[in-house]
Amino acid sequence: MAGNETPISSVWTRPHRQREQLSREQIVSEAVKLLDTEGLEALSMRRLGTRLGAGATSLYRHVASKDELIELVVDEVYGELTVPAAEDDTNWRQAVGAGAHSLRSMVLRHPWVASVLGQVGLVRLGPNVMRMSERMLAVFATAGFATEESDQAMNTVIACVIGMTISEAAYLSMIARSGKDEQEWLDSLRPAAEQAAQDYPRLREGQAAQRGRNPEQIREANFAYALDRVLDGLEARLGRPNG
């Protein structure tokens, strides 16, 4: 019977403990620092408790599990996003683009987040995620999309950003582990890459076109190209020429 159904358990559906020596905010802040410096593999309730000078039991008073902690830290970094309002239906692309670039920058600052987005359960209930989603949906509504398609358009843009940025974050993490900066790493790889491309004229042409260019600018240009093509498609749905 409906009255006997077990409520869904989530960190967002339980009362938030207040006025204790160790707060949820402290736990989340320290967890983000740990993830940024040591990665997802290093995160455990015991390890986090040690960094906070508290036992894991103290953490469990605020967070029931590591999975719930992941929900909290994901929502925390989503609070860094900026999604400007669209004043009218002529500048919605700029607003969506600014939000997309903000999301990309957040993931590159916190590369661990890309690997947990598919396993964060009820993260959509988090206040920062909800706030970002509401602002993005408002932009698409201003552009002229109906309610259902606004949601589809938002999810399409987010999928584009996350899809590209997951690969970019993994690439940058690999370079970081090498102890070299990006340009040094590419310079060390170039002889082998050029040798491997000897029998592939289009690959050789592409390598030649990128030689001497700033690798960060190449990555930014690739992202901007993909995002613009997605926005072109969405704008075509509105029946207006590309702006």
**CB half-sphere exposure, 45, CA atoms < 13 A:** 16
pLDDT of res. 61: 85
- 223, amino acid identity: F
pLDDT at 16: 59
Instruction: Tell me the pLDDT band of 59, cut-offs 50, 70 and 90.
Output: confident
Say if residue 119 is in the same domain as residue 198. yes
Judge if 99 and 144 occupy the same domain.
Answer: yes
Structural domain span for residue 159: 92-238
In tens, the pLDDT along 176-185 reads 889 999 999 9
Tokens 């050029």 — which residue? 194
Tell me, yes or no, whether 119 lies in a domain.
yes
Is the model's pLDDT at 195 over the cut of 50? yes
Domain holding 42: CATH number?
Answer: 1.10.10.60
Q: Which of 9-13, 105-109, 192-196 has the lowest mean pLDDT?
A: 9-13
Q: Helix, strand, coil: what percent of the chain each, to 5?
A: 70, 0, 30
Judge whether residue 226 has pLDDT over 80: yes
Instruction: Examine the domain organization and report whether 103 and 220 are in the same domain.
Output: yes
- Regarding whether 172 and 133 lie in a shared domain, the answer is yes
The dihedral built from the CA positions of residue 109, 130, 34 and 119, taken in this order, carries a sign that is negative
Domain presence at residue 2: no
Domain end residue (candidates: 78, 101, 124) = 78
Q: Is the pLDDT of residue 154 over 80?
A: yes
Domains identified in the chain, total number: 2
- Got the DSSP string for 2-26? GGGPPPPP-TTSS----S-SS-HHH
